[in-house]
Structure 1
Amino acid sequence: MDWRDQGILLSARRHGETSAIIEVFTPSHGRHAGVVRGGTSRKIAPILQPGAQLDVTWRARLEDHIGAFTVEPVRSRAAVAMGDRLALAGLNAVTGLVSFCLPEREVHLPLYARTESLLDLLGEADLWPLAYLRWELALLEEMGFGLDLSSCAVTGATEGLVYVSPKSGRAVSREGAGEWAERLLPLPDILRGEGAGDDAEIAQAFQTTGYFLSERLAADLGSKPLPAARARFVEAFSRRL
């Protein structure tokens, strides 16, 4: 069994004396792991940095084996990430969430395309937080927990939508919320794709997407908590406020 693809390196860890086990997110083969022989060498180790774009060839005797990768660098994102604390935190959040959420070897082509485009914006401090927020919304959608923010779940109104129901993921208007307002999540305009979205509004939106990532998506995947890298990114971003 063998295939060739291009992908985003999610993680790398030492395996034995000289090898490494890597996990890549590819457009045609999903999240896939394999062994890189000589992965700890001076030649290959610098290539195996999270976020790197790689050309990979995977081979195994049987399809269900872990298999072995040979890798060639396409482009590195390490220099941008290491030179900017927020970019590094964002990169770790993205790779951590992809590893956490996606089943192994399951293809998610639209999410792959969004992820590659997002990581190519690393270092664009004015653009990246909003792009990352939209990526989280796309991740929730891809995993079956998309938010319906088009109309009020109570009244059907399309105006005055200021809350999100934590139970249904649907928008709620101020009028429809009534006495339940304190139990609802914020719905800043930026979550509906409206307005420029300043940092304060994006930070507020992270409260809502964070709830669905941790309380719905992570809960559906079992007892594992959401990767701490996501909280570290939100904390780093909040320091800009």
Structure 2
Amino acid sequence: MEWRGTGILLSVRRHGETSAIIDVFTEDMGRYAGVVRGGTSRKIAPILQPGAQLDVAWRARLEDHIGSYAVEPVRSRAALVMGNRLALAGLNAVTGLLSFCLPEREAHAPLYRRTEQLLDLLGQDDLWPLAYLRWEVALLEEMGFGLDLSACAVTGAREGLAYVSPKTGRAVSEAGAGAWVDRLLPLPPVLRGDGDAPDHEIAAAFETTGYFLANHLAPDLGNRPLPDARGRFVDAFTRTL
């Protein structure tokens, strides 16, 4: 079996003396692992940087084998994060979360396209945090844990929405919160796509999306902890406020 496509390199690990095993996220084939012969060589190793866009050809005798990759660079993103702490943390958060939550060999084309667009914004620190927040919301939805922020879960109102239920992911209004207000998560306007998206609202929104990543998505994946890279990115961002 064999296939060819373009993908985003998620991770690299050494395999034997001279080879590497890489994980690549492609639009049509999903997250796919394979061996790159000579992947630790001076010629190939610089190409195999997480976040890089690669043209890959995968081949195996049988479909359930790990297979081998031939790789060609399409676009490196290393220069976009060099010397930029926030950009590097953001890149690591994206590749870490995708490696964490994507099932192997299952296509997620809309998420792939959104991820490619997000990574192309690396280094644009004025745009990146909001774009990343929207990507996390899309990731939750793609994984089956989408937030419903259209109306209050208690009253049905579409105005005055201020909270998110940590249990259902649905919006709750000021009027509907009642005695449960201390148990609810914040719903800053930016999370609904409203307003000017100031940084302090984005930081508050990360608290909410982070809750659902850690307490809904992660338990569904065997109760593994979220990648530390996500927390490091949020910390790097909040330190800029």
Q: TM-score, normalised by structure 1?
A: 0.99
Give the distance between the partners of 1:83 and 1:230, measured in 2 at CA.
Answer: 19
SS in 2 for 1:208: helix
Residue in 2 aligned with 1:138?
A: 138
Residue in 2 aligned with 1:179?
A: 179
Residue in 2 aligned with 1:43?
A: 43
TM-superposed CA distance for 1:213, in Å, is: 0.3
- Deviation above 2 Å: which 4+ runs of structure 1? none
TM-superposed CA distance for 1:196, in Å, is: 1.4
1:202 aligns with 2:207: no
Residue in 1 aligned with 2:189?
A: 189
Kindly, what percent of the aligned residue pairs are identical? 78
1:216 aligns with 2:223: no
Residue in 1 aligned with 2:115?
A: 115
Give the distance between the partners of 2:236 and 2:43, measured in 1 at CA.
Answer: 33
SS in 1 for 2:224: coil
One-letter identity of the residue aligned with 1:149: L
Residue in 2 aligned with 1:30?
A: 30
TM-superposed CA distance for 1:223, in Å, is: 2.1
Residue in 2 aligned with 1:60?
A: 60
Give the distance between the partners of 1:118 and 1:6, measured in 2 at CA.
Answer: 16
Give the distance between the partners of 1:203 and 1:46, measured in 2 at CA.
Answer: 34
RMSD: 0.5
One-letter identity of the residue aligned with 2:92: N
Q: TM-score, normalised by structure 2?
A: 0.99
Over residues 108-135 of structure 1, what are the superposed CA-to-partner deviations in whole Å (9 max), with x where a residue is unaligned? 0000000000000000100000000000
Give the distance between the partners of 2:63 and 2:189, measured in 1 at CA.
Answer: 46
Give the distance between the partners of 1:162 and 1:4, measured in 2 at CA.
Answer: 47
SS in 2 for 1:79: helix
TM-superposed CA distance for 1:83, in Å, is: 2.1
TM-superposed CA distance for 1:80, in Å, is: 1.2
**Gapped regions of structure 1 (runs ≥ 5):** none
TM-superposed CA distance for 1:79, in Å, is: 1.3
Alignment of 1:134-173 (within 5 A): 134-173=134-173
Q: How many correspondences in the alignment? A: 241
1:100 aligns with 2:100: yes
TM-superposed CA distance for 1:89, in Å, is: 0.3
Residue in 2 aligned with 1:17?
A: 17
SS in 1 for 2:25: strand
**Gapped regions of structure 2 (runs ≥ 5):** none
TM-superposed CA distance for 1:70, in Å, is: 0.3
Which deviates more, 131-140 or 76-85?
76-85
TM-superposed CA distance for 1:91, in Å, is: 0.3
SS in 2 for 1:20: strand
Give the distance between the partners of 2:161 and 2:80, measured in 1 at CA.
Answer: 38
TM-superposed CA distance for 1:82, in Å, is: 2.2
One-letter identity of the residue aligned with 2:91: L
Give the distance between the partners of 1:196 and 1:49, measured in 2 at CA.
Answer: 35
SS in 1 for 2:211: helix
SS in 1 for 2:122: coil
TM-superposed CA distance for 1:81, in Å, is: 1.2
